């Protein structure tokens, strides 16, 4: 069943709403209970006090009764001075039952709540005549309902604030898990601590750590395999090339064989670059504009194949060799598919609180099928249907890894007038430690 859009989407908000609803519901029930039962409880206690006062009055000597009556506010009524009783449920029944239980079954009680409120009690078991007993206002009856509601609302808000803090603490392990998963997805080595973890999350953390270990082990095995294949192939290729050069023949067949060997050698270089990926390279302050000019210079020796559009960029921490590999991959890829119409731009963008450097390599080639713009960054993937050519399919994977290693990202865009733009964003001034990945 799909969750409705109006329903809270996060675990934190759902838990907070649940706590808030439960607290408010419990306070509402408490308020109803007080309104229905608090008066009953107080009136029973008041009836008991009246019964004790009347017993004390009738048990005293005749000479002392006036003093007791004056102290307790009692008035002895005779004849027609006793008014008819009013019915106020449930108070009338409470007074009647309580007095009969305290003073005898033949006790009569008349209740009036207005002008002024009083009880008239006749208890034949104690003495003749009616006794008028004053009624005092109930503490809750004198309050307005909104003041009571205000107190309950304040209690509810305090409970909600406490729940907010409590749920935030519960949500911390989940946030830590999300952060670790993202770090692992970016190729960083990360483990979650289980020593200070709630028991409910311990097994989840253990499973995540095991998964991270398995992923890293698979990566190490892949690197070992690729390194072995590259090493095993390079030796016979070197011998083959040396043999061809010693033949001294320059016919077309020999030239084709040399070109094939060079292509295979370039493929092996891509394999090795993908394996090593620059993770052990030190970070240094680099002038990116000068680095771009240095990389583009060999391409522009005889004719300008790569046009530069560079704005002033302050030096910032980079891995120099890795960034040169990134630029060579992007520029070489653009030249292979667009000839001489390649442009490289570099500039600073973003606001002052979070500036970043944009490095853009643009060409006028055939572009890439929009459905392949994301998948083409995967290793051994090429956009051959739109940009036919040869290669290992590792060039853009290496570019993405190097950009991520510097805390940045890379994206491909088809240009409006044809061609492709590879845009790399790098945070300006982010110094990464050597073991950041």
Contacts of 54 (CB under 8 A, 6+ apart): 74, 103, 121, 123, 126, 131, 133
Residue 325 belongs to some domain of the structure:
yes
Residue 434 belongs to some domain of the structure:
no
**Which of 107, 95, 99, 49 minimizes the C-alpha distance to 74?**
49
pLDDT of residue 344: 95
Q: Are 388 and 263 found together in one domain?
A: no
> How far is the C-alpha of 95 from the C-alpha of 90, rounded, in Å?
9
Pairing assessment for the beta strands 118-122 and 284-286 based on DSSP bridges: unpaired
pLDDT of residue 108: 83
For the chain, residues with pLDDT lower than 70 are 1-12, 34-43, 79-81, 85-92, 115, 136-149, 221, 224-232, 234-236, 246-257, 259-260, 263, 266-267, 269-280, 380, 382-393, 429-437
**Which of 376, 297, 304, 375 minimizes the C-alpha distance to 333?**
376
Q: Are 123 and 215 found together in one domain?
A: no
The answer to whether 280 and 434 are in contact (CB under 8 A) is yes
pLDDT of residue 107: 84
> How far is the C-alpha of 387 from the C-alpha of 396, rounded, in Å?
14
Q: Which two tokens stand for residue 395?
A: 């060039």
**What does residue 221 show for φ and ψ, rounded to 5 degrees?**
-65, -40
Instruction: Write down which residue in 141, 166, 185 finishes a domain.
Output: 185
pLDDT of residue 148: 66
Q: Are 208 and 177 found together in one domain?
A: no
Q: Are 166 and 296 found together in one domain?
A: no
Phi-psi sector, 33: left (phi>0), alpha (psi -120 to 50), beta: alpha
Residue 334 belongs to some domain of the structure:
yes
Q: Are 214 and 76 found together in one domain?
A: no
Q: Are 215 and 297 found together in one domain?
A: no
> How far is the C-alpha of 180 from the C-alpha of 192, rounded, in Å?
7
Structural domain of 219: 187-276
pLDDT of residue 338: 76
Interhelix angle 252-276/199-247, rounded to 10 degrees, is 160
Q: Are 52 and 191 found together in one domain?
A: no
Residue 436 belongs to some domain of the structure:
no
Instruction: Write down which residue in 246, 276, 306 finishes a domain.
Output: 276
pLDDT of residue 420: 92
Q: Are 106 and 177 found together in one domain?
A: yes
The answer to whether 405 and 399 are in contact (CB under 8 A) is no
**Which of 252, 235, 255 minimizes the C-alpha distance to 244?**
255
pLDDT of residue 389: 52
Residue 330: CATH number of its domain: 3.30.565.10
Residue 56: CATH number of its domain: 3.30.450.300
pLDDT of residue 179: 86
The answer to pTM > 0.75 is no
pLDDT of residue 86: 65
């Amino acid at each position: 069943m799909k969750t409705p859009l109006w329903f809270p989407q996060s675990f934190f908000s759902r838990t907070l709403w649940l706590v808030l609803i439960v607290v408010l519901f419990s306070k509402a029930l408490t308020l109803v209970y007080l309104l229905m039962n608090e008066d009953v409880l107080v009136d029973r206690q008041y009836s008991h006090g009246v019964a004790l006062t009347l017993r004390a009055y009738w048990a005293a000597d005749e000479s002392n009764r006036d003093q007791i009556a004056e102290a307790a506010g009692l008035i002895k009524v005779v004849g027609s001075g006793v008014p008819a009783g009013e019915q106020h449920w449930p108070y009338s029944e409470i007074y009647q039952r309580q007095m009969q239980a305290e003073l005898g079954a033949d006790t009569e009680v008349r209740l009036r709540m207005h002008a002024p409120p009083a009880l008239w009690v006749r208890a034949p078991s104690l003495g003749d005549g009616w006794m008028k007993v004053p009624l005092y206002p109930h503490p809750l009856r004198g309050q307005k309902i909104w003041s009571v509601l205000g107190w309950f609302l304040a209690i509810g808000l305090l409970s909600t604030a406490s729940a907010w803090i409590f749920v935030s603490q519960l949500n911390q392990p989940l946030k830590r898990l999300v952060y670790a998963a993202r770090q692992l997805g970016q190729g960083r080595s990360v483990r979650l601590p289980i020593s200070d973890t709630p028991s409910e999350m311990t097994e989840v953390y253990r499973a995540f750590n095991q998964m991270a270990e398995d992923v890293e082990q698979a990566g190490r095995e892949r690197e070992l395999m690729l390194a072995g294949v590259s090493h095993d192939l390079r030796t016979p290729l070197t011998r083959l090339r040396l043999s061809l050069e010693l033949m001294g023949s320059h016919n077309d067949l020999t030239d084709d064989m040399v070109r094939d060997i060079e292509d295979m050698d370039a493929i092996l270089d891509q394999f090795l670059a993908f394996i090593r990926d620059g993770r052990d390279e030190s970070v240094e302050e680099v002038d990116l504009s000068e680095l771009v000019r240095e990389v583009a210079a060999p391409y522009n020796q005889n004719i300008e194949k790569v046009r530069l559009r560079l704005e002033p960029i302050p030096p910032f921490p980079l891995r120099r060799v890795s960034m040169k590999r990134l630029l060579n991959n992007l520029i070489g890829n653009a030249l292979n598919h667009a000839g001489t119409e390649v442009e490289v731009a570099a500039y600073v963008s973003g606001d002052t609180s979070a500036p970043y450097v944009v490095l853009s390599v643009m060409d006028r080639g055939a572009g890439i099928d929009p459905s392949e713009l994301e998948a083409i960054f995967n290793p051994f993937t090429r956009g051959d249907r739109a940009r036919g050519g040869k290669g290992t399919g590792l060039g853009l994977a290496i570019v993405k890894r190097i950009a991520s290693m510097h805390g940045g990202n890379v994206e491909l865009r088809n240009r409006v007038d044809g061609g492709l733009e590879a845009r790399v964003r790098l945070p300006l001034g982010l110094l990464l430690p050597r073991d950041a990945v």
